[in-house]
Amino acid sequence: MIDLSTTFMGMQLKNPIVASSSPISKTFDGLKRLEDNGAAAVVMYSLFEEQINFESRELHHYLSFGSESFAEALTYFPDLTRYNRGPESYLEHVRRAKQALSIPVIGSLNGISTGGWIRYAQLIEQAGADAIEINAYYIPTDLQMSGAEVEQAYVDLARDVKQSVGIPVAVKLNHFLSSIPHVVHRLDEVGVDGVSLFNRFYQPDIDLEELEILPNLALSSPNELRLRMRWAAILHGRIRADIAITGGVHSAHDVLKSMMVGAKVAMMASALLKNGAAHLQEVLRDLRIWMEAHEYESIRQMQGSMSQKHVANPAAFERANYMKVLNSFETKVI
């Protein structure tokens, strides 16, 4: 009997596939479909820092300031009175989800400053969430802000949230940091239980006819997995925190590769949005077929087997791979 079970941040999971934060978790029907089709855990859609701060007059002032001079100034922000759910509705949704589901429910906080996060992290814990994911989506635009200061903001936020709750805390990072191993090491030092590699930045586009900046949502592709695999392979065995790979996980092969480089779980969102929750059944079936064909008895058996720590050529994850790829390319004479 093939054992698909794994652990993540101290939670026992029936398989390594976690439904990442997405609109599917906004409804109970969506949550139930994820569970019924085999998701081992679910990360709730995010409660945004702006939603928490919206209650304060200070944010209202800064959002409104100058709007008389630039009519479009406020159009880049959603109407926060209707955007997703307010903080209280979010907490109630987490509470009801936890009561309705038998799989772990992970709350999600999206932002960068401490703000009201300490309070709401505690409230999410009280609502019954099994863990919290800090989705640190931040674009530094201050010319005076150094890379070290940006990284310190991540560490400070993780430390403050971790110290305020008793449930596990994961940090979802982006890959634009100057030294990913150093940042993860510092997060490890302040006690985070997991790191998710990586957040996806959604880039704006330009409408050439209307001359407007447009928000643009593009689902992930399996090609994005390679970046995550490299850093998971480098970090495996060097940190205490568990590793989650998120972004580019679409198939059973993607899950298998994620496990082999050292991840404890593979998080999936785009594939589920594209194919529906039933896609989970196909991935789980293909996992079992591959493992049986290659004589693997459990997921734990393969975790980290292809990490930098265990492969015959560790340099494959470093500069040597860059040189080998460039030197192996052959041009064709036309």
| Residue whose structure tokens are 């957040």 | 199
- From the number of C-beta atoms within 10 Å of its C-beta (0-12, 13-18, 19+), residue 326 rates as exposed
pLDDT at position 52 = 66
DSSP 298: B
Residue 320 has pLDDT above 90, yes or no: no
**Tokens standing for residue 304:** 């980290």
Q: How far apart are CA 73 and CA 16, in angstroms?
A: 43
In a domain, 27, yes or no: yes
Residue 137 has pLDDT above 90, yes or no: no
Residue 69 has pLDDT above 80, yes or no: no
pLDDT at position 73 = 44
Closest CA to 103 of 184, 19, 29, 173: 19
Between 207 and 305, residue with greater pLDDT:
305
Residue 160 contacts residue 121 (beta carbons within 8 Å): no
φ/ψ of 17, rounded to 5, equals -100, 115
Average pLDDT over residues 255-263: 98
Q: Helix (H, G, I), strand (E, B), or coil: what is residue 106?
A: strand
pLDDT at position 62 = 41
pLDDT at position 112 = 65
pLDDT at position 23 = 93
In a domain, 110, yes or no: yes
pLDDT at position 72 = 45
In a domain, 230, yes or no: yes
Q: Helix (H, G, I), strand (E, B), or coil: what is residue 112?
A: coil
Q: How confident is the model at residue 83 (pLDDT cuts 50, 70, 90)?
A: very low
From residue 316, give the alpha-carbon distance in Å to each of 3, 244, 312. Answer: 30, 21, 9
Q: Using omega within 30 degrees of 0 as the cis cutoff, is the peptide bond preceding 198 cis?
A: yes
In a domain, 324, yes or no: no
Closest CA to 150 of 159, 162, 161, 141: 141
Domain of residue 305, CATH code:
3.20.20.70
pLDDT at position 76 = 46
Q: What ranges in the chain are assigned the alpha helix state H?
A: 28-36, 49-53, 57-64, 87-100, 117-126, 147-164, 180-189, 225-235, 252-260, 270-275, 279-293, 299-302, 319-328
In a domain, 197, yes or no: yes
**Tokens standing for residue 212:** 């407007």
Residue 193 contacts residue 170 (beta carbons within 8 Å): yes
Kindly tell me the sign of the dihedral angle through the C-alpha atoms of 234, 235, 237, 238.
Answer: positive
Share the mean pLDDT of the chain: 86
In a domain, 65, yes or no: no
Contacts with 288 (C-beta within 8 Å, 6 or more apart), sequence order: 2, 4
Contacts with 48 (C-beta within 8 Å, 6 or more apart), sequence order: 83, 84, 110, 111
Q: How far apart are CA 159 and CA 154, in angstroms?
A: 9
DSSP 3: B
Tell me how many domains the chain contains. 1
Q: Helix (H, G, I), strand (E, B), or coil: what is residue 244?
A: strand
Query: Which residues are paired to 207 by β-bridges?
Result: 212
- pLDDT, tens digit, for every residue of 54-66? 554 444 444 444 4
- pLDDT, tens digit, for every residue of 96-136? 999 999 999 999 998 766 666 788 899 999 999 999 999 87
Amino acid present at 328: S
In a domain, 77, yes or no: no
- pLDDT, tens digit, for every residue of 12-36? 999 999 999 999 999 999 999 999 9
Whole domain around residue 34: which residue ranges?
Answer: 6-46+84-309
In a domain, 323, yes or no: no
- pLDDT, tens digit, for every residue of 169-223? 999 999 989 899 999 999 999 999 999 999 887 678 888 998 998 877 778 899 9
pLDDT at position 64 = 45
